[in-house]
């Protein structure tokens, strides 16, 4: 409201109804785009050591969805692990978010900062090269090619199905309990039987199990 020069809630509501651009401005203002590669490193270690090898034992080519991907560090982290574990596979990583500026950064995959890369294992550092701008890094195209970036609102139906792994981390903490359950039910339906859901440490667990998931490790649930 301060940015728009409006002092009354009723006036601001009318402004949002009248000007679609104001609604996009509000969404950008309240959308959190905090992310980094291998966020919560011990969870990603479990992903690379236990979960992905198990999935690759069933399928050579994996289908992964990173929901609420921000500017792409999360789906590209999965792509790095897949390159390490199964470099000849024809993997598909869907990366979605509602924030268009963040999605543009994700599509480019060439403006990651040193801070974004601070948790990347040393063995994978060689897969980055000089990016666009001073002190920026780009992921090599042979890794980035697996990631497909698209806009999607989690409160809508899943964009597709038959995923082996869905990452939805640190997103649900902003939703109501009813919305959480509805979204988790949608994610459950988008996973193939035996597939995994990877959530953030701060996520409330009850809606996950109510939606039909079984916990296998901290942050990891299975259909």
Q: Which pLDDT value is given to residue 116?
A: 95
Please name the residues in contact with 53: beta carbons below 8 A apart, sequence gap of 6 or more. Answer: 85
Give me 216's structure tokens: 């296998």
Domains of the chain are 1-30 (no CATH), 41-222 (3.40.50.150)
Model confidence band, residue 23 (pLDDT cutoffs 50, 70, 90): confident
Q: Which pLDDT value is given to residue 32?
A: 58
Is residue 55 a contact partner of residue 85, using CB atoms and an 8 Å limit? no
| DSSP assignment string, the chain | -TTTT--SHHHHHHHHHH-HHHHHHHHHHH------TTSSHHHHHHIIIIIHHHHHHH-SS-EEEEES-TTTHHHHHHHHHHHHH-TTS--EEEEEES-HHHHHHHHH---B-TTTTTTS-GGGGGGEEE-SSTT-EEE-HHHHTTEEEEE--TTS--S---EEEEEE-S-GGGS-HHHHHHHHHHHHHHEEEEEEEEE-TTS-SHHHHHTT-EEEETTEEE-
From 38, 45, 31, 101, select the one nearest 73 (Cα to Cα). 38
Residue 59 has pLDDT above 80, yes or no: yes
- 80-97 burial, b for 16+ CB within 10 Å, e for fewer? bbbbebbeeeebbbbbbb
pLDDT tens profile 152-175: 999 999 999 999 999 999 888 878
Give me 188's structure tokens: 């459950």
Q: Which pLDDT value is given to residue 205?
A: 67
Query: How far apart are alpha carbons 123 and 142 in whole angstroms?
Result: 17
Query: How far apart are alpha carbons 149 and 29 in whole angstroms?
Result: 21
Q: Which pLDDT value is given to residue 219?
A: 93
Q: Which of the two residues, 67 and 170, has the higher pLDDT score?
A: 67
Residue 34 has pLDDT above 70, yes or no: no
Average pLDDT over residues 116-139: 94
Q: Which pLDDT value is given to residue 209?
A: 82
Q: Which pLDDT value is given to residue 204?
A: 62
Angle at 216 between CA 210 and CA 222, to 5 degrees: 55
Give me 125's structure tokens: 């550092």
Average pLDDT, the chain: 92
pLDDT tens profile 185-218: 999 999 999 999 999 987 766 778 888 999 999 9
Query: How far apart are alpha carbons 190 and 37 in whole angstroms?
Result: 25
Model confidence band, residue 2 (pLDDT cutoffs 50, 70, 90): confident
From 126, 197, 146, select the one nearest 168 (Cα to Cα). 197
Q: Which pLDDT value is given to residue 33?
A: 60
Q: Which pLDDT value is given to residue 93?
A: 98
């Amino acid at each position: 409201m301060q940015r728009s020069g409006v002092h009354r809630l009723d006036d601001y509501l009318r402004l949002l109804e009248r000007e679609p651009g104001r609604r996009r401005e509000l969404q950008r203002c309240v959308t959190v785009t905090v992310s980094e590669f291998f966020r919560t490193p011990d969870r990603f270690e479990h992903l690379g050591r236990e979960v992905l090898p198990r999935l690759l034992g069933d399928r050579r080519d994996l289908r992964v969805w990173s929901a609420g991907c921000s500017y792409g560090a999360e789906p590209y982290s999965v792509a790095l692990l897949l390159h390490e574990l199964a470099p000849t596979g024809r993997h598909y990583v869907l990366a979605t978010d509602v924030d268009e500026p963040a999605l543009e950064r994700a599509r480019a995959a060439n403006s990651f900062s040193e801070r974004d890369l601070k948790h990347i294992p040393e063995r994978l550092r060689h897969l980055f090269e000089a990016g666009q701008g001073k002190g920026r890094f780009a992921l090599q195209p042979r890794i980035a090619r697996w990631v497909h970036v698209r806009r999607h609102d989690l409160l809508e139906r899943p964009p597709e199905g038959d995923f082996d792994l869905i990452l939805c981390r640190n997103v649900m903490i902003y939703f109501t309990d009813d919305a959480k359950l509805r979204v988790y039910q949608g994610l459950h339906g988008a996973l193939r039987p035996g597939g995994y859901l990877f959530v953030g440490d701060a996520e409330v667990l009850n809606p996950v199990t109510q939606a039909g998931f079984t916990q296998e490790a901290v942050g990891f649930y299975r259909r």
